Structures are given as structure tokens and as C-alpha cells.
Amino acid sequence: MSDAPLHLPVVSAREIASRQVLLALSVRGTPLAGAHTVPGQYARLTFEDGVPRQFVIASPPNSPTLEFLLKVPSERVDELTTLGPSDRVLVGRPHGDGFPIAKAEGHPVLLVGVGSGVAALHSVIEHMLPRRTAYGEATLLYGVRYQNELAFTDRFGTWAGHGIKVVPVVSRPGEGWDGATGYVQRQLPKRFTKPAELCVFLCGLPEMDKAVAAALLERGVGRDQLHRNW
């Protein structure tokens, strides 16, 4: 099958958090249908400037749409959210190993991400929902600087209803925020009942990754239990 990028029609484009646009593109009837096979894979998008840029796929595998969480300057939000069904975006074939989701089956799952890294974890969670009984307890620790940067908040209730605990963490809280504050590594449980059974998926800044990994190792979680999508 050709790896040449394709022009895919826009299904929707909406701002779901401050300066973050969720772009959905249809793959129905195209060679890219079914090409996204594992949560955490990437694809290259090319907009009008002609520069291909790599973005993690936010939708679950084998979805009729490819979704991308685009973090953009405020002046580009209106430009992107005016895209509609008559518009096309050039998209490359999904690539990358993604997360080893099969390793999570039968285990408690901890998902840790910051900023737009939550897109990859969104793909994991949406993949898990229709297969929820295949996994143990699941928790998402999701860190941002300001509360208006939290994406996918409209899904938090659904995830919680499926037994996935969602812990938003804001490092620079503003007025009205009564949730967790600081950095995600500070919100890790002090201990795990069965640390050797935990499956961890990480996606975010290198500093966060390093700090979370160190904290988990101190709690008895092995390095081979920590998984990234790169």
C-alpha cells in the first residue's frame, strides 16, 4: 500500500481548551481506513504553509475518523475552527509503535500525561472503554499549567462512569479551582497495593517523564512496566 499522504475531508474542528483545537478528519473509503492500529501512533499533517508536522492521533484505533489535538497560537484558533466538510487536510499514514496496549490487559493501569500529551492517553482510554473488563483499575493523572488548558473535559464524566479515575492537576491554579495542584508526580499514590502488576503509560515533557519514572521506581514499579509511545 502506498505511503503517499492523502487529502482527507474535515469532519469537525473545534476549540476544546485554551488554544487547543480538536481536528477530526474522515478516513471512510480511503486507503487510511484501518491504518491506525495502536493507541499512541502519529501522523503528519500539512496545512497551507506546506510544512508537514507530526501529531499524535487522539482517536482510538480503527475509528472512522482521525482526531488530532492541535496546540496553536491564539490567532490561529479562528482560522482552524472555520474548517468544514468542504476543506481538506493532507495527512500521512499513521506510524510509530504506539503504546503496547496488550500488556495492560489483566493489570491495573496508570496513565500520566501533561499538556497536549493527553491526546495519546485519550486514544488509550477510548480504546479501553468498550473493553473495560479486560483491564484492572485505571487512573489518569493529567497535568496542565492553567485550568482552561484542560482538554477533553466533556469526556471526564463518561470515563469516570466506566471506572476510570480522572485526576486533573493544575500547576498554576486560578480563582475557582478546587482540584489537585502542583505537578503530576506529586499526585502519585504514596504506595501501590501490587506495584509489580501496574502497567504505566507516559506521555508528556521529558522533565515530567523523568520525575514520574523516578517516583514510580521508588514505589516498587519496575522500569519494564513504564511505557512510552515513542
pLDDT given at position 121: 98
- Answer yes or no: are the C-beta atoms of 41 and 229 closer than 8 Å: yes
Instruction: Please list the ranges in the chain whose pLDDT falls under 50.
Output: 1
**Rounded Cα distance, 168 and 160, in Å:** 12
**Rounded Cα distance, 129 and 158, in Å:** 9
pLDDT given at position 230: 87
- DSSP class of 95: B
pLDDT given at position 48: 87
